[in-house]
Structures are given as structure tokens and as C-alpha cells.
Amino acid sequence: MLPPEKLYYTIGEVARMLNVSTSLVRFWEKEFDIIQPKKNKKGNRLFRPDDVKNLHTIYHLVKERGFTLQGAKTKLVQNKEDTIDRAEVVRSLKKIKAFLEDLKQEL
């Protein structure tokens, strides 16, 4: 889930959004060429919203759908836009499900 839109997100913010470690975010950055964070003068990674969206897609493929890293790379090369769109639909449905479950408990 993305917080309010910002120009850049730190690696810590991205890791919290995905509920993964910062080392996994760095690893995926090295493995997937669609992740291209900017680096400031200190060398800190600054992820753009597109990078965050791509990381969400990678998370969806690897962690939720069980793709291998090579399988996820292949899927993104074959049809990147469709894969990203599907990952966003799944994310939206999970938010709706959580909302409905909370609503059910309040009744």
C-alpha cells in the first residue's frame, strides 16, 4: 500500500510498505533492472513512485505467486504493463477485503 504520493521514498519506507527487509529491497534492485533508484550525495537510495510500483509487482510475483527470480524477470520482460496492472488489482482487492473484514467486526 502506497502512502501519500511523494517524489522519493527512502529504502526504509519502501521496505516498510512491502513488509520486507531493506537488504531484500537492495537485492531486488540488483536483480531487476527496472528498479533504478536515484542516489543522493551520501549514497542513500531514493526510490521514485515508479520504482515502488515495480517493487510491489516483484513482491507480488515472487512472494505471493511463488515465481522464481528468473521466472519473475521473464514475466516482466514478456508483458510488463499487464503484470503491473494485475498486481495492482490484487493489491486493491486486498485493501477492500481488509476494509470489509473490519466493517464486519464492528457490526
Per-residue pLDDT tens digits for 42-61: 989 999 999 998 998 999 89
* Domain boundaries, given as residue ranges, for the chain: 9-106
Q: What is the pLDDT of residue 22?
A: 94
Distance from the first to the final alpha carbon of the chain: 26
Q: Give residue 29's pLDDT band: very low, low, confident or very high (50, 70, 90).
A: very high
Q: Which residue has the higher pLDDT, 87 or 22?
A: 22
**Which listed CATH number (1.20.210.10, 3.40.640.10, 1.10.1660.10, 3.30.420.40) goes with 9-106?**
1.10.1660.10
Contact 61, 102 (CB under 8 A): no
